Amino acid sequence: LEEARKRIFATTDKARGALYQLALNEGYEKFVIPDDVGGRFSVLTAVGLLPFVFKGVDVKSMLEGAKDAYLDAQTPDLKKNKAYLYAVTRYLLYKEGKQVEYLVNYEPRLAFFAEWWKQLYGESEGKEHKGLLVSSASFTTDLHSLGQQIQDGLRIIFETVIQVKKNDKLLIPYDEKDLDKLNYLYNKEVSYVNEQALIGTKMAHVDGGVPNILITIDKLDAYHFGYLVYFFEIACAMSAYLLDVNPFDQPGVEAYKKNMFKLLGKK
């Protein structure tokens, strides 16, 4: 038990809660969740950083990326302040009648980043019968299920696309039988094919009346991950203020919890 105690860490409230009490009783080392940072904004606190450390992620580089995103967001020039430009652009699309925003990626490693993004914007903006319905899509996979609706369905959608410029170099091999008739792609990088899919899809959707916002990063590493996290967080706060709602509370989620606990018999 003593050896286990040395290897168990708890990220918890500084003074209350079941996990805090357990850590106190067992002598586990504790990392504090800041009182003034909501869960969806806590990626760059101990809540997110501790798991990243154990995973072997360079958190120093991640925080450097977040710091640069913070510094970039300090300029009052909207043309240079990309985070606020994103917030204003999606607000203007909302005012023009767009109701749904898809966060689109062409990089599978961003799929769960999009899950966090949906919570961030959904809980921060969706109040007082305001706010965009946020969803996500992993292309090209989801083009098979969502492509038709996006292309020809109700014109209430716009897309925010994350493009990763430099990816792992993986070349397409030559197939002597060429059964799939894809030898014309021989020796091309998979990332090149992916980029053409992005460009072609963007052209089709824009031509079909679906506006696209393109956010480009050089590569998917700790630095750019940290940059994206802070970029979307500061843009989210601005987006909520443009809607005249508080980005840092979530009164709506308490309603279902109250009902569920009552049905379960919690006193």
Is residue 95 among the annotated active site residues?
no
Pairwise CA distance, residues 14 & 35, whole Å: 8
CB distance 101 to 122 below 8 Å: no
The DSSP secondary structure of the chain, one letter per residue, reads: -HHHHHH-EEEE-SS-SHHHHHHHHHT-EEEEPPTTS-GGG-TTSHHHHHHHHHHT--HHHHHHHHHHHHHHTT-S-TTT-HHHHHHHHHHHHHHTT--EEEEEESSGGGHHHHHHHHHHHHHHH--TT-SPEEEEEETTTTHHHHHHHHHHS-S-EEEEEEEEEE----BPPP-SS-TTS-GGGTT-BHHHHHHHHHHHHHHHHHHTT--EEEEEEEE-SHHHHHHHHHHHHHHHHHHHHHTTS-TT--THHHHHHHHHHHHHT--
- Candidate list 123, 125, 159, 233, residue with the active-site label: 123
Is residue 159 among the annotated active site residues?
no
- Candidate list 144, 169, 266, 267, residue with the active-site label: 144
Pairwise CA distance, residues 57 & 43, whole Å: 13
Is residue 144 among the annotated active site residues?
yes
Closest residue by Cα to residue 166 from 143, 194, 139: 194
- Candidate list 60, 257, 258, 262, residue with the active-site label: 257
Question: Which residues does the annotation mark as catalytic?
Answer: 123, 144, 257
